[in-house]
Amino acid sequence: MNPKLSHRFVFVLLALALTVALPAIVLAAPSPALLAQDTPTSDVLTPEALANMTYISELSPSGEVTLVDGKFEDTDNRYVAVLASAPRAAGQLNGQDAAAVLLGENTGGSGIFTSLAVEIGRAHV
């Protein structure tokens, strides 16, 4: 085999291996949570307050759910909503204290739908 041809073949194989392997290595590396904080940034957005707020829901018959201790159940309409305990994020959004939480919802079938809710430092009463 021609030496120039074998060098080109090895170079092409090496380039192909790097092209395939490098994105997999980068994607497999863990990335730090950029917005997550261990403690709430607001007196209003405490874990207790988040577990007892009213959230907008496209799946709820009324269009919103008011959680009590992180749960809501409408037995007549076979609807259940639960606030996920993790992951949660707290920080600032447009200069205001904010918290992001996940709401798990079931409408009586076998699926559980997850909604992301972002609360800005105000109380829903």
Domain that holds residue 8: 1-31
Rounded to two decimals, what is the model's pTM?
0.62
Q: How far apart are CA 70 and CA 50, in angstroms?
A: 8
Domain shared by 55 and 114, yes or no: yes
CA distances from 118 to 29, 48, 90, 99, 124 (A): 27, 16, 9, 6, 12
121 is written with which tokens? 């430092």
In a domain, 82, yes or no: yes
Q: How many separate domains does the chain show?
A: 2
Q: Which two tokens stand for residue 94?
A: 């447009």
Find all residues with CB under 8 Å of 64, minimum gap 6, and list them.
54, 55, 56, 57
Using one digit for the tens of pLDDT, what is the confidence trace for 41-89? 567 788 999 999 999 999 999 999 999 999 999 999 999 999 998 889 9
User: Do both 53 and 25 map to the same domain?
Assistant: no
User: Are both 103 and 59 inside the same structural domain?
Assistant: yes
